[in-house]
Structure 1
Amino acid sequence: MRTLTATEASRSFASILDDAERGETVVITRGGRRIATIAPAQRSNGGEFLGLMESRETDDGFAADVAAAREAVVLDGPVWSED
């Protein structure tokens, strides 16, 4: 794990992203305090989630929880294109 100041990070952001892509974690500090961590993103295609949803191993309140979550979503924003 590498540590950089915020100033160093701002000057070499593309390089930090390259490092993260190669698996390295970079800690960013400001005034000697840790303020951020840039790390590789977890790779996933949602297969595990879909498997869970299809397993039907849910408790009695699950359907109500899903309905409440759907009601909480605001769909008034811009729609993403499907390309």
Structure 2
Amino acid sequence: MRTITATEAARKFSDLLDAIENGERVTITRGKSPVAVMQPAPRYTGADLRAALERIEPVDDEFQRDVLKAREMMDDEVRDPWDGA
């Protein structure tokens, strides 16, 4: 894991985001003390949401119908939100 100062992170923020997007974890320090760790954000899919919904016990029949309806509307495809599609 790479360590950089807050000043360097500010000056090279775009490069820092590129590195993180490519899987790198970066510790950011201020005055030699670590203040943050940046890492890639988790990517969730419809399958992740479906699995989470399946673990929930239905409160009542209406809730169960709503959960089933939500499951039907999901797909497992990962989409880029910035793609414009």
- TM-score, normalization: structure 2? 0.60
Residue 59 of structure 2 corresponds to which residue in structure 1? 63
Shift of 1:52: 3.3
2:38 aligned residue? 38
Which digits, 9 at most, give the CA deviation of each residue in 1:12-55, with x for residues without a partner?
000010001110011100011111111011111242222332x3
Question: Are residues 1:9 and 2:9 paired?
Answer: yes
**Aligned equivalents of 1:46 and 1:12: distance in 2?**
34
1:22 alignment partner in structure 2: 22
Q: Percent sequence identity over matched residues? A: 42
Give the ranges of 4+ consecutive aligned residues of structure 1 lying more than 6 Å apart after TM superposition.
Answer: none
Aligned residues: 62
Structure 1 residues 22 and 63, CA gap change in structure 2 (3 angstroms): same
Structure 1 alignment gaps of length 5 or more = 68-82
Deviation, 1:57, is 5.9
For residue 37 of structure 1, give the secondary structure of its aligned residue in structure 2.
strand
State the TM-score, normalized to the length of structure 1.
0.62
Amino acid in structure 2 at the alignment position of 1:5? T
